[in-house]
Amino acid sequence: MPTIRVEMFEGRTVEQKRALAQALTEATVRTLGGSAEAVDILFYDIARQDWATGGKLWSDTAPAKPAGS
């Protein structure tokens, strides 16, 4: 089964990562078959100053507002 690598800006809570791991695992098993125990998910928290898009560091832009604010 697959190993899923999730790269995202740092700041998510353990609860958010737990929920995402569960959702990704369920979707993988539903789509590909196999067992949940065979699905590995790796989280990589990236600092905004370590990620650039279009030649600009994300730390140089205003952070996105959380949904619902």
Please give the Cα distance from 37 to 31 (Å, whole number).
15
The catalytic residue among 2, 11, 34, 63 is 2
Tokens of 2: 């697959």
Among this protein's residues, is 2 annotated catalytic?
yes
Q: Which amino acid is at 28?
A: T
How many helices (H) and strands (E) are present in the chain, helices listed first?
A: 1, 4
Active centre residues (catalytic): 2
